[in-house]
Homo-oligomer: A and B are copies of this chain.
Amino acid sequence: MFTDEYFMKLAFREAEIALEKNEVPVGCIIVFENRIIAKAHNLTETLNDVTAHAEMQAITSAANFLGGKYLQNCTMYVTLEPCVMCAGALVWSQVSKVVIGARDEQRGFINKKLTLHPKTKIVFGILENECSQIMKDFFLDRRL
């Protein structure tokens, strides 16, 4: 039951909530021992704050839940490849695993030649089509 697809669907639901708020639709959850300990969606417009990416909020929230700043034995599920800022935060967090939906060729950390923490396992392409499509639809709508 607790597959990467299962948890990514919950992250995707967060992206849908962002979309309903006219935010760039990115969602994220953090799982510890098969429990969701943080969920968040992008709120940069609502909060007028460029740092309010889904991942940043989720990292803060998960650390708060755990009572420690390191996210050992935690997995982040995020619908879009993290940007430089969020990748930097993930390095500091020492999160154990990051599962990514869609790639972000332009803003993602991979094409910036950055890596996450040596302890962090990265999995790509879970629900990739849905995670990619919701972004495309959002930006297409804004251009019309």
Contact = CB atoms under 8 A, between A and B. Distances in A.
A76 B59 CA distance: 25
Q: How many copies altogether?
A: 2
B51 A60 contact: yes
Contacts of A114: 84, 112, 114
Interface in A83-113: 83-89, 91-93, 112-113
A131 to B, nearest CB: 21
A68 B48 contact: yes
A50 interface: yes
14 contacts: A44-B69, A44-B92, A48-B63, A48-B68, A49-B64, A50-B70, A51-B51, A51-B59, A51-B89, A84-B85, A85-B89, A85-B91, A112-B114, A113-B113
Given A51-B51, A83-B88, 8 more contacts: A49-B59, A50-B59, A50-B89, A84-B84, A84-B85, A85-B87, A85-B91, A114-B114
